[in-house]
Structure 1
Amino acid sequence: MHPNPVRESDRLARDPDGADEVDVIVVGIGAAGCAAALSAHAAGADVVVLEKTGPAEAGGNTRVSGGAWFHHDDPDGAADYLRALCGDRPVPEPVVHAWAAGTREVTSWIESLGARVLPNGSYTAEYPELDGSDCYGGYRSVDGVLGDGRLFGALTRALDERDIEVRYDTPAVELTTDPATGAVTGVVTAAGRRITARGGVVLATGGFEGDPELVRTHLGLHDVPVWGSTAATGDGLRMAEQVGADLWHMDNMMTVNGIARPGSRHGFFAMFLYSRGYVWVDENGRRFVDECVPSGHGQALIDGRYELHPKQPMHVVFDERTRAAGPISPDAEVMAVGWNVLMDGYRWSADNSAEIAAGWIHRADTLAELAGRIGVDPATLTATVDQYNRACSAGRDDLFGRAPATLTPVTAPPFYAYQSAPVLAWTNGGPRRDQHARVLSRSGAAIDGLYAAGTVSSTYSWAKDGGFHIADAIVFGRIAGAHAADRVR
C-alpha cells in the first residue's frame, strides 16, 4: 500500500550511527496508528510511524476486518449505550464522554481524507434492550463495502498524500524515559536504534491475541487460533508495563465458533449460514449452551447475564443435510474479512467437501463412530444428539431454551464434527488510559509522553456492538496524535 516503503535495515545501512528525533512516534499502522499519525501531522507535528511487519502484512486486524464503524448523531444516547454495555464494569465518565463525542465525528473525518463513505447494509443494535441502543445508526464504510481492506487502503493513501514516513520491518521493543521525571522520551527498535519523540509516543500495536502465553494468562484459553493478524503479540502492553502502566479489562475478548486447518495459527469463522442443523458438545460429548443464543461482538445473554460466548473448547457436530446445504465458512464474495480469506486467499469449498477430504472435519457413518474419532464417549454423544433431535420434534428445547425456529435436527448420516478451540478474534485489555488517550500509571497519574489507542487499550470493559472497535481506534488515535503534537508546543 505504500509504494516506496522504508525499512529499518535500509536506514541502518545508510546511517548506522545516526540519531533520530521527531515530534511524534506512532507504533503500529492499523486504524488507530493511522488516525494518530494523521492527526498529529494536521496539528503541525513531524511524525514517523513504526510498523513491525513488512508492507505485505502490515495493518493488523484493521486490514482484514470489516472496516466499518458504527454511526450515530446522538452523543448523549451513545454515552448511555456505552454505560449500559459496560454493565458492572464502568469506565470513567470523561472517557465515556470523549468516546461518545468522538464516535459521532468518525464519518465526517474519514470523508475529510477524501474517501467516499456510504451506509453499509441494514445493521441494527445488537443489544436493543439496553438503554441508549436507539442511538445506533448502522454501519458506515468506505464505498459502502464491508471488508476487502478498503478502510486500510483509504488511511494509508492519506499517509502517502501527506508524505508521512512509515518505517516497515521496524519493531519497537522498549520505551525510553527521562530519568528525572519518568516522562516517555522515545523508543528503541529491535535493531537497537534510538528514536526520540519531542511530543510523545503513541502505542497503536493491537492486542495480544497472537501471544499464546498472554492468552493463557489473561484469557484462560490454550493454543487457540486467531482470526486476524498473529503480529498482535502484546508489544505495546509489555512496553507500557515496563514504565509503570496500570492495566484495565484484561479478561475481555471476542471469540467465535471457528475452525483452523491443522498446523495453522489462523482460524476461519464457522457461521452455518445455510442450515442450523448442528449441536455444540463439550469434551464429554454433552451439550452445554444454546448454540444459537443471540449474541453481540463477544457476549451473549445467558441465564440473564451477558457472558463471553463462546468461551470454551467444543466439538461442533452436524449431519449430511447441513454439510450439503452450503459452506460452513463464508468466502470473500459473502464476507471479505479474516486473514485466511483476504491475506491467504483461501476459498472454502461450496459443499465443505475439500475441508473434509483434507481432514479438517471428521466424517463417520454413525454417531458412535464419530465419537471415537473426536475422543468422546460414544454412548454419551449418541444420547446427546438423540435428546436434541427429540427437542426438535417437540419444537421446544427444555435444556437450554434454543429458539424453536433454530431447532433443525441432526439425523441424516453420515455425520461430521470439528473442534473449535474457539477462534480468538481480538482482545480488549491493555494499558489503562484517560480521555486524552494518555497512559496512566498504577497510581492513576498520566505518564507524560505516552499514549495508547486501538485494541492495545480498548475502551470496552465488557460488551461491545458492531463497528465499535474501528470507531474506538479512530477516536482515540485522533485524540492521542493531537495531544502528543500539542506537547511539542
Structure 2
Amino acid sequence: MHLPSHPADVEEFSADVVIVGSGAAGAAAAIAAHDAGASVVVLEKTDAAHAGGNTRVSGGSWFHHDDPEQIATYLRALSGERTLPEPVVRAWADGTRTVTEWMQSLGIEVGIPGDFAPEYPELPGSDAYGGYRSVDGVMGAGRLHRALTGALAERGIPIRYDARAVELVLDASTGGVTGLRLESGDVVHARGGVVLATGGFEADAELVREHLGLDGASIWGSPACTGDGLRMAQHIGADLWHTDNMMAVTGITPPGARHGLFAMMLRRRGYIWVDAAGERFVNETAPAGHGQALIDGCYVLKPDRPTWVVFDERTRLAGPISPDASVYPVGWSVVMDGYAWSADNTAEIDAGWVLRADTLAGLADAMGVPPAALAASVTAYNAACAAGVDERFGRAPGTLEPLADGPFHAFLSKPVLAWTSGGPRRDEHARVVRPSDEPIAGLYAAGGVSSTYSWAKDGGFHIADAIVFGRIAGGHAAARAGASSTPLPLSAAAR
C-alpha cells in the first residue's frame, strides 16, 4: 500500500469499509456493511449539530412502488434522451421496491404522509408510482436523519465528526483506492472500500458556475455540500455524469444570506414572473415536478434563471410567501435556523427582502426595470385573466388571477439550489468508474454525490436512490473485504 508522506503525529486507523458522509446514503451504506459482518467507520465533515447533509433538512420521504418493470419504464421516460445504463435502471427499480421493507426491518415506524400522485402522469410507467412513505408517516423536521442515526448507534457504528476527507489514497501498483486522508492529515485505511456519500456540489460557487452556469445562486440545504466527493474522485480519474442537472426551487433569499427559502405563494395566484427587461417570459404555474417542467413540449429546468416575481396587495394579504415549520418543516433556514416567515409578509417587506410601491411605475424603479415594459406585462396578463385564456404562455385558466390592487410588490428570485444530481459516474454496483467503464477498485458512490437521475425525477426519488445505492455500496465493499469483523481501534471511535 502506498501512502503519501505525513507528519509523525498524524494518526492512522482502519476499517473494512469507510463511509464518507452521514446522510441517508452514508447511513444505509454503513448499516449494510455492518450487517454483512464488516467493520465500519463513518466520517462526517461537520460537527454532530450540523451533520446529515441534505437528508437532515429534507422532507425525509421516499417513494414507494410494487412494480419494478413499470417503474423502470417511468425512469426511462423521465430520463428522455439522456439514457441511463440499463443495469443501473434495473438495480434502481428492484432496489426502490424494498426501501419501505428495509426501513421497517430497522425497527423504524413507517407511514403514509399524504396523497401524493406522480408529478409526470403523462409519462409511461407513472401509474406504478405509489406515493410517499415517511418515518412515522410525517414529513420533514429531521425525522429520517434521527431514525437512521439511531440505527447506527444501535449497531455501535462509530461516527467520527469534524473529519473532512480531502484525498483518496491509492495503491501504487494497482491504482485502486485503499483509504483516504483527512483535512487533519490523519489517514484512514479501508480494506474493502471507501464509499463517497458526501452530497452534491450546490454549496460551492465555483462548481455551480462550471457545471450549472449559475452565478449567485443561494442554497436550500446543507452548506457542507461543496463537491468534496466529486473533486476527490475526479482527481484520480473518475468519469462524471449529468453534472448539469439540478433541482432548484423558486425561492427568496435575504440580502447577503447564503440560504434561501421556498417562495410557494399557495393561497392566491395573482402574480407574474418577469425578466430583467420587465417582460413576462414563461407560464409561471407550469407544474415543475422536482426540478423540470413541461414547457412548449419539452421538459426543461424550472427555474433556471433569476426572475422577478411581481404580485399585488390581495396576494400579499392572502398568506405568507414562504411556509414555516408548522406547514412544511424542510430547508436549512426553517429546520436548522428556525426562521418563521411572517403571516402577512410585512416583516420581510420591512426588512427589504420584498419591494413595495404604491404604483407599478414606482415598483419598476425599485426593481431597476423599464416601467413601460412592466406596465405592458401586467396589462397583457390582466387582459388574459379577463378573457380566461393565456394565449401567449398557456397558463391554466384556473390560475389566472389578475394583479389588480396596489400597493404592488416584487422580489428577485434567483434559483435556490436544493441539490445537484450529477457527479462521479457509477455502475449498478455503486462502483465509481473511469471513462473507459473500468471500475476504480475500492471506490463507491451513493446519494447526492452521484444520483441516478440524468434529467427529470419525481418526489421521494432522491431519498430512495440514496438508500438503494448506499445499501448496494456498503454490501459490495463488505464482500470485497471478506466481511472481516476486525474491531476498530479506539482512535476511530466517535469524537
TM-score class, shorter-chain normalisation, is: over 0.9
2:385 aligns to what?
392
Count the aligned residue pairs: 475
Work out whether 1:96 is the aligned partner of 2:77: no
Work out whether 1:488 is the aligned partner of 2:475: no
Between the aligned partners of 1:334 and 1:226, the Cα distance in structure 2 is: 20
Could you tell me which of 172, 197, 200 is aligned with 2:165? 172
Work out whether 1:382 is the aligned partner of 2:365: no
Work out whether 1:226 is the aligned partner of 2:219: yes
Between the aligned partners of 1:169 and 1:263, the Cα distance in structure 2 is: 26
Work out whether 1:278 is the aligned partner of 2:271: yes
Could you tell me which of 51, 64, 70 is aligned with 2:44? 51
Shift of 1:444: 1.1
Q: Contact conserved, 2:275 with 2:308, CA < 8 A, in 1?
A: yes
Matches within 5 A, 1:291-330: 291-330=284-323
Could you tell me which of 72, 87, 112 is aligned with 1:119? 112
Shift of 1:129: 1.0
Between the aligned partners of 1:47 and 1:324, the Cα distance in structure 2 is: 54
2:139 aligns to what?
146
Paired residue secondary structure (2:470): helix
Shift of 1:16: 3.9
Work out whether 1:36 is the aligned partner of 2:33: no
1:240 aligns to what?
233
Provide, for residues 355-407 of structure 1, a one-character-per-residue CA deviation record: whole Å limited to 9, x for no partner. Answer: 00000000000011101111100111111111111111111111101001000
Shift of 1:135: 0.5
Provide, for residues 19-53 of structure 1, a one-character-per-residue CA deviation record: whole Å limited to 9, x for no partner. Answer: 20110110001100000001000011111111111
Between the aligned partners of 2:390 and 2:121, the Cα distance in structure 1 is: 24
Work out whether 1:262 is the aligned partner of 2:273: no
Structure 1 residue ranges without an equivalent (≥5):
1-14
Shift of 1:57: 0.7
Shift of 1:411: 1.4
1:407 aligns to what?
400
Q: Contact conserved, 2:11 with 2:187, CA < 8 A, in 1?
A: no
Across the aligned residues of Structure 1 and Structure 2, the Cα RMSD in angstroms comes to 0.8
Provide, for residues 129-172 of structure 1, a one-character-per-residue CA deviation record: whole Å limited to 9, x for no partner. Answer: 11111111110000000101111110000011111010111100
2:486 aligns to what?
none
Paired residue secondary structure (2:181): strand
Work out whether 1:351 is the aligned partner of 2:344: yes
Identity %: 67
Shift of 1:323: 0.3
1:470 aligns to what?
463
Q: Contact conserved, 2:431 with 2:444, CA < 8 A, in 1?
A: yes
1:412 maps to amino acid: D
1:324 maps to amino acid: L
1:12 aligns to what?
none
Shift of 1:18: 3.7
Between the aligned partners of 1:439 and 1:114, the Cα distance in structure 2 is: 31
Q: Contact conserved, 2:73 with 2:125, CA < 8 A, in 1?
A: yes
Paired residue secondary structure (2:19): strand
1:409 maps to amino acid: P
Shift of 1:295: 2.0
Shift of 1:429: 0.6
2:431 aligns to what?
438
Could you tell me which of 195, 202, 211 is aligned with 1:202? 195
Matches within 5 A, 1:6-17: 16-17=9-10
Structure 2 residue ranges without an equivalent (≥5):
1-7, 483-495
Shift of 1:17: 4.3
Moved over 3 A (4+): 15-18
Shift of 1:120: 1.5
Paired residue secondary structure (2:219): coil
